[in-house]
Amino acid sequence: MADRYKMQDPRQQYPEPPFPKQPQPAPGLAKKLEPPADHGEDSYEGSGKLSGRKALITGGDSGIGRAVAIAFAGEGADVAISHLPEEQPDADEVIALIEKAGRKGISLPGDVSEESDARDLPGRAAEELGGLDILIVNAGHQKFFESFEKLTSDDFDTTMRTNLYALFWMTQEAAKIMPAGGSIVTTASTQAYDPSASILHYAATKAGIVAFTKGLSSELIEKGIRVNAVAPGPIWSPLNPSGGSPQEKVEKFGGWSTFGRPGQPVELAPVYVLLASQEGSYITGEVYGVTGGAGIA
């Protein structure tokens, strides 16, 4: 049994700050994180909950998306991951881990902030995997600004296109091909409920994701497709060291949570598995918080 399944004090289960400063150029790579993040590479144990399913995960190369890809493969799903071309080194590692689990892994490089790329993804995944049952919309853009007046229109636009427009484009196309029993899971944030001034544009997209998810769930249940969201708190991933937060905050990252540490990507994976699997058959239009005690109210 992996150590993470043994009873232990959750406050000391994973590393706590201080962490070293570790600036990376955006979008950042998981392999450069110090300490390394736990995506479940050696710790996630599946039990066949997604046997035979076909899943597309955006931002599947690192962070939460990587952990979900590993968990889904461990649960018996074939998995396609989308990512930026410059994230290929991380993506290659994820594909190798999916294949190690005995499942088919597909890498789909592109830029979901471009409408053509985003709209093409569900069809490309379905063609490569032989169908599409699960869509995890996880790719996101976050860049901090020292003050509101320094927030640029260009970055505001990039954030909206990556986090909200891509959600609209992909779910609209996926809904055309997903069967009854399919599941869409979006990735919101505690920022939707408690926004930080330095990333107001990012927080606005996360609030939009909550509203979009709830509204879409009412529409797609008429097709037998469930739609839910996961709202993480501070999770250790390349998002923050690569421009999502100032390095001073990276050094203390997650220390303000009631656990005194950030969450690890693998700690969110079981929630995505629940929402994607038939065990979540009576769940739609919900937002599940994995926040380290911060809540989402």
Cis check for the bond before 27: say yes or no (omega within 30 of 0).
Answer: yes
C-alpha 272/C-alpha 77 separation (Å) is 13
Alpha-carbon span 254 to 109, nearest angstrom = 30
Dihedral sign from CA coordinates of 36, 158, 148, 205:
negative
Out of 165, 202, 272, 288, the active site residue is 202
Q: How far apart are CA 179 and CA 181, in angstroms?
A: 6
Residue 110 tokens, joined: 């592109």
Residue 116: CA count within 13 A, CB half-sphere = 0
Bridge partners (DSSP) of residue 226 are: 183
For residues 42 and 102, what is the distance between their CA atoms, to the nearest angstrom? 15
Token pair for 139: 């790719």
The reply to whether 5 belongs to the active site is no
* Exposed / middle / buried, residue 248 (Cβ in 10 Å: 0-12, 13-18, 19+): exposed
* SS3 assignment, position 63: helix
What residues are annotated to the active site?
A: 202
